[in-house]
Chain A
Amino acid sequence: MNIHICTDHGLIPPYAVMLLLSLAAGLGVQFVLNRRDGIKQNIAAYGILLAPPMIGFFALLHTQIASGGKALGLSSIGGAVGMYASALTMAAISRRRESIGIMLRSCTLSLPIMYSISKIGCLMGGCCRGVDYSGVMCVEYSGERMGHLSAFPVQIAESAAFLVIFIIGMIMYARGRKNAAVAVIFLMSAAAKFALDFLRASHAGKMVSPNQLLCAAAVAVFIAVMAVQTHRKHSISERAYN
């Protein structure tokens, strides 16, 4: 059973529509989580206004830097950086110390659903495609732009993996394990992105892609931050005990 996708489309490109949908879903989830955790309504709403330009800016900037200024496109890792930058900016504007943690948490929890939906756009648009593959469940592209080729359905795998990660994170959040949900989502997302990048056509001929290096760096930074936080909490409780 193969999947046939014709990349010829009408005037409205499905890739752009799915990107907008992913933006709406991600920002909606972020707004709801921010409100549930006590962020003021106006701050949460202004965050929705600030996030799209920041996501667009960092998504374009990352592609520009990664390609040495030769390519123009949207990068998911750049978009994630934009989301975090917008969350940090809004936390600074709100002038409440606890807002930083809440906003970064909401941002991390909403990223997998954004990525999951945007990958369906990639599948329909024919970008970020998988390695050449013509076995079971392969994606058969056709159309003027793509020509005829068969590829591994890496976008479907990514979309499904990140949807599962999002659901796991939301279940943990709903059960009150909020910080654990952040750690699980962040580490699982980085691991999934790292692993599935091997199946992309853009990875062919490379030992490790720049995206994988960024994922590894993000995990290293996250673990370092968690270690520092744990050490600080431990020393505070020790001082209180003594």
Chain B
Amino acid sequence: MRVDYYDILNCSYDVYCGRPALFAPEGVPEDILARYGFARLYDGRFMYYLDQMEYYHIASCGSTDRVVFDQSTHDKIVQYYWSQYAPAPPVNRSNGGTVMCIISLILLVVSPFLLFKLPTLGMLGWIASLVLMIVVRATYPKNVFGLVLMILHIVAVAVILISALLVMAACYDIMRQCSNL
């Protein structure tokens, strides 16, 4: 089989050391051979190992006695293999997690009321709501519901911390006033 490999015409196709390869004809200037990746063997011939896509192209040509590699062939090969082995399109990460957001919001709203009756359950509910929100934010970063929930949680944490400080101060003040009576 004869192969025209870009500017190097009439290359011969053979297997060398178990891998498909092209052998340049004699008389081709060495700078052109070097440009296309041909290397000199011990016997003086110039050889180029075909890559997987180039080999499949030659194999697909079947029994034709002449195979041409040029820019259009290269584009076709790349297009074909890109369509075969292209990575999957990115997952739209804005749609998922809405159910988790709804559960998280319900827990966030319900847990303060539970705190008065069942404090342990109320706190666990709040923590579960927080964990669900974090799962949504980590898995679906573009989910707007998750973002709103995160802001609500940050505000809730800040309000609880400030409230705890104020309650402690108020209790202390009341105790001091009572002791003065």
Contact = CB atoms under 8 A, between A and B. Distances in A.
Interface of A: 8-9, 11-13, 16, 20, 42-43, 46, 49-50, 52-54, 56-57, 60-61, 64, 89-90, 93-94, 144-145
B15 interface: no
B141 A42 contact: yes
A107 to B, nearest CB: 16
Interface string B125-151: 011001100110110010000000010
Contacts of A20: 161
Contacts of B137: 42, 46
B120 interface: yes
A90 B176 CA distance: 43
B157 interface: yes
Interface stretch (B20-28, B36-44, B162-170): B162-170
A52 B154 CA distance: 11
B127 A46 contact: no
A16 B168 contact: yes
A57 B169 contact: no
Interface of B: 120, 123-124, 126-127, 130-131, 134-135, 137-138, 141, 150, 153-154, 157, 161, 164-165, 168-169, 172-173, 175-176, 179
A94 B138 contact: yes
27 contacts: A8-B176, A11-B173, A12-B165, A13-B168, A13-B172, A20-B161, A42-B138, A42-B141, A46-B138, A49-B130, A49-B153, A49-B157, A50-B127, A50-B131, A52-B157, A52-B161, A53-B130, A53-B157, A54-B127, A61-B120, A89-B131, A93-B131, A93-B134, A93-B135, A94-B138, A144-B176, A144-B179
Nearest to A17: B165
B134 A16 contact: no
Given A9-B172, A11-B173, A93-B138, 12 more contacts: A12-B165, A13-B172, A42-B137, A42-B138, A42-B141, A49-B150, A49-B157, A50-B131, A53-B123, A53-B127, A61-B120, A64-B120
- A11, A43, A53, A144 — most chain B CB neighbours (10 Å): A53
Nearest to B135: A93
